[in-house]
Structure 1
């Protein structure tokens, strides 16, 4: 157990930062942004310190903190990280400062700009209007920090009830980010509907999970896992050990229902087809930075939950339902790619690509192989980086022209070559081009899936062809060809000129492109951290790893292992 509560510091920093940002005077909008960025950078530094002190060959959970919380219910304030949680903590901590910079001018829609103008007129006329001055920048920054804080608790929690509380609590600031702060071309009514849709989907999934959490406590109480007779526990380490040993003492059908309760909530959050319906509208209607926060960070809590909670708390149920989940994942992969091809809105197209990518992540998790789960964990990181790059660059472009329609653009590479070039790299990463980060993770998912689910692996490869179609088509339509409309020149009306990336935007995009290249060429440092945690997960499942199948009439089978026998052939 650590003497310095680094994990508490990790999530309390953005929480305190949110309070401080919101407490600043209304006139200090720039100060609110600067303070928010400073807090986010401080969180990143703590995350880097955790990574530097983490020993992949040491204990599974490190930097452990444990304090009583609700002892009568077997719940405690328990935090700790393994390799899987560590890389997701670093992803979150690294993205939030970039999102702060990317959304530096976000947080004010047309209604709020009108309010600013009214405030300015009031000051000129001598009215005391300070109290009515908009605080949208403060609110926007504070909400992002609140989401970061709650996500970090979810990744580090070792207590099921603690995890559930923050798993649900993060919906509140995310709802207000969607409803209150829209991207270009959105209106308040449409944003409100998208936010309500997001909230209802996730709340319904959370209610199902709440019933499963209560049921799990009852099971642990009957099994005598609590500190006192008749009491249960929410300590995931204790429950996981009992589940792996078969000591929960209930019928498999009960554990199956509990698994489904957790799985439904995680499938909504991920999102997994057919529970994905909230994502496209929510991603399009909010600001690009908030959309990336949702898709690259918040949604990862769903896939992380599948690995940490579904597979380890209910190993037999996970194996039982694996074929069903794999089927849904494959449908989601192809469905998301096909829907992306048919989009005319660039932001909605990118949102549908995320549905396809989340299908790959879930496919690797439930392939129940070391390569599959390692690839899925790496995919969570790579998807977060590639989606952030593609969505933010598209957002920069839309902010210049004011339209999300693909047909409104053309010839951008002639007037904004840096913007077009970075968009191309991010797009190629999305289609998993070799040499870029997503290729490694997608390859591992395929390698890990094929031994158990050959048909699923083959069908999933269709998405590779489809992704090449929609990404290259998108680039050709928007960046190539003749310059379309008033996209350049001093004579172009304000709001229609397409200019190249400014230094602030380059500072956002450059680290993302660098990470895509680095992890595409040298992913081993991340794999070294992930692999021990994945191995521990597979041990709790206690499922034999599949071996390559060799046809009985092949030369290898005929000659065996080289000694003239057929003992080397696998049935």
Structure 2
């Protein structure tokens, strides 16, 4: 039995404990030690996640590198881990982003007045106890819990970590918020953190009721276990039967929790507050890492455990996704706050992801999985550069900027690349995934696919307007002395830009890994791609050249 998956989860968890136990950061040397330990831990985690991806065989079994350790034997609960292609790439995305977030957040937990040259210092009146150890330990704790969620093959184990990750995120939002808001933002940070926690706890409680209900039904039929492969196989073979009403109720219980986390309209309202009041690094953790657990779980648990209910509710979910695409994009256009603009843009993007999942086509689900990865990379680039911009000026308001490209051309250029990726410019990574989602949706639901394309137009509007208002035009006096990106900041942005371009022109390494898992998921819900309405010459069923279809 391989223990590679356990090691990948355990290293950031152990690193979080070690980082929290280090002596308090009362001196710069101690703070540097804390940061180095946390960054080193995240680097080891990245190496382990890369090793998992390297050992994963796309042509092999659905779940690989499996391991299982009995946990609560009387209820059939175990610490069971295993990866399919989707979990592999999402865990690797998490491991890539965490060290980048740490580098970008290098000074976010420094004491008031310690901001580096060229950045706006805090006045200190609302942050007299910002501990470096706590900040970086919380980031590592989030990483550990998210990776367990992507690797878990026990339904109860997944639920535990799905809920547990809310705690470190709550403290990251409420205790280490954005300094640019000033003293009055302490109340807003508290509100955002509590709203985040309550929304997600409510979703988790509904899911817990569904988990218990599912276990009771399964146990009555001789399946007293939470092991996901066992349960999905029993459902597929007809050995575990759920009545239509029970399956629909259980599906809604699971889906509600995942839709809150995703977030899907109209359960999205916590996200703009949480991202707006967080540091840029924490905002990336929210939307590029934690929220992906929700969409991932829709694929793994909703479709795997409740195939018939998934097909029943798919049209309604597609309508909600479509509303989210248009609604999020429209509100992004009208935002005055940079971070809230990125938050509403993410709501629109999550609409595309969920639409691809429930289109029930191979192109749609493959595109949705790629979208999770590409959105994580492109949004991280856009948000982190926005964070560098905000830290220099000390304001999140778009109107406070102008002419930045003349004084900080590298910062402006990387900000533009992030914006162009967000609007899915061909040649950049999100274009491939968005194209697949739209094609996959159109083949089964043409009207929804057509309307969803308006989201692309609106994305171009909010991304280019933001760049125009902040980076072009006359140089405002407040930004005239703004420094360009430093070496550490370039080290943050460069790999994200490189990945955005690489995956935009050559996505094959990812599609090769995820496509077998997508095919297996479609098989579970007894779906196949719709046949072409008009046969194509050279393919089976096509009319002879020069002839007519009979």
SS of structure 2 residue aligned to 1:104 = coil
SS in 1 for 2:70: strand
Alignment of 1:469-508 (within 5 A): 469-488=461-480, 497-508=481-492
Aligned to 1:20: 18
Distance in 2, matches of 1:523 and 1:362, equals: 20
TM-score normalised over the length of structure 2:
0.94
2:516 to 532, 545, 548: 532
Query: 3-state SS of the aligned residue for 2:477?
Result: coil
Relative to structure 2, which stretch is displaced further, 247-256 or 212-221? 247-256
1: distance between equivalents of 2:242 and 2:17?
45
Q: 2:104 aligns with which of 102, 105, 108?
A: 102
The answer to whether the 8 A contact 2:15-2:38 is kept is yes
User: What is the distance in 2 between the residues matched to 1:63 and 1:498?
Assistant: 50
Aligned residue runs from structure 1 range 88-127, under 5 A: 88-108=90-110, 110=112
Whole-Å separation in 2 of the counterparts to 1:197 and 1:56 = 40
**Contact 2:247 2:306 (C-alpha < 8 Å) held by counterparts:** yes
Contact 1:223 1:248 in 2 (8 A): yes
* C-alpha separation in 2, matches of 1:215 and 1:188: 41
The answer on 1:158 being equivalent to 2:153 is yes
After superposition, the C-alpha distances for 1:87-114 in whole angstroms (9 at most, x for unaligned) are 0010000000000000000024759999
Equivalence for 1:32: 34
For residue 549 of structure 2, what is the aligned residue in structure 1? Answer: 566
- Cα distance, 1:22 vs structure 2: 1.0
Deviations 1:276-315 (A, max 9, x none): 0000000010110011011000000000000000001000
In terms of mean alpha carbon deviation, does 356-365 or 535-544 score higher? 535-544
Q: Deviations over 1:203-245 (max 9, x none)?
A: 00000000000011012112212xxxxxx11000011112222
Structure 2 gap segments, 5+ residues each: 116-120
Q: Which residue of 1 aligns with 2:118?
A: none
TM-score, normalised on structure 1? 0.91
Matched-pair contact (CA < 8 Å) for 2:112–2:123: no
Q: Is the 8 A contact 1:112 1:136 kept in 2?
A: no
Hey, what's the Cα distance between the residues in 1 that align with 2:544 and 2:93?
A: 45
What is the match of residue 525 of structure 2? 541
Q: d(CA) in 2 for partners of 1:209 and 1:83?
A: 25
CA displacement, residues 395-418 of structure 1 (integer Å, 9 cap, x when unaligned): 000000000010100000000000
Distance in 2 between the 1:448 and 1:276 partners?
A: 25
Distance in 1 between the 2:19 and 2:354 partners? Answer: 37
Cα offset, 1:548, TM superposition: 2.1
Alpha-carbon separation, structure 2, partners of 1:539 and 1:348: 39
| Structure (1 or 2) with the larger CA radius of gyration | 1
- Matched-pair contact (CA < 8 Å) for 2:111–2:129: no
* 8 Å CA contact 1:451, 1:549 repeated in 2: no
> Does the 8 Å CA contact 2:83/2:151 hold for their aligned counterparts?
yes
Q: Say what the alpha-carbon RMSD is for the aligned residues.
A: 2.2
Alpha-carbon distance in 1 for matches of 2:14, 2:424: 39
State the shift of 1:487 in Å: 1.4
Q: Distance in 2 between matches of 1:35 and 1:95?
A: 17
- Match of 1:65, SS state, is strand
| Residue matched to 2:407 | 415
Q: 2: distance between equivalents of 1:500 and 1:448? A: 42
Name 1:211's counterpart in structure 2: 209
1:511-567 CA-partner distances (Å, limit 9, x unpaired):
00000000000000110000011111111111232122239xxxx9x9945484635
Secondary structure of the residue aligned to 2:444 is: coil
Aligned partner of 1:126 in structure 2 is none
Deviation at 1:191? 0.3
Distance 1:162 1:420, change over 3 A: same
Alignment partner for residue 259 of structure 1, among 251, 255, 258?
251
The answer to whether the 8 A contact 2:280-2:383 is kept is yes
Pairing 1:352–2:335 present: no
Q: Could you tell me which of 193, 196, 207 is aligned with 1:195?
A: 193
- What is the count of residue pairs matched by the alignment? 535
Distance 1:566 1:159 in 2: 51
2:293 to 301, 305, 312: 301
| Superposition deviation, residue 185 in structure 1 | 2.7
**1:45 matches 2:47:** yes
2:385 aligned residue (393, 397, 406)? 393
Written as runs of structure 1 = structure 2, the 5 A alignment for 1:47-446 is 47-108=49-110, 110=112, 134=129, 136-186=131-181, 187-225=185-223, 232-446=224-438
Distance 2:144 2:292 in 1: 14
Cα deviation for residue 499 of structure 1 reads: 1.2
SS at match of 1:80: strand
Distance 1:261 1:525 in 2: 35
Q: Which deviates the most, 396-405 or 27-36?
A: 27-36
Matched position secondary structure for 1:185: helix
Distance 1:559-1:361 versus aligned 2 partners, 3 A rule: closer
Give the whole-Å Cα distance in 2 for the aligned partners of 1:56 and 1:37. Answer: 31
Q: Name the CA shift for 1:115/1:285 in 2 (closer, same or farther; >3 Å).
A: closer
Q: 1:425 to 1:254 in 2, by over 3 A?
A: same
Contact 1:112 1:134 in 2 (8 A): no
Report the equivalent of 1:494.
Answer: none
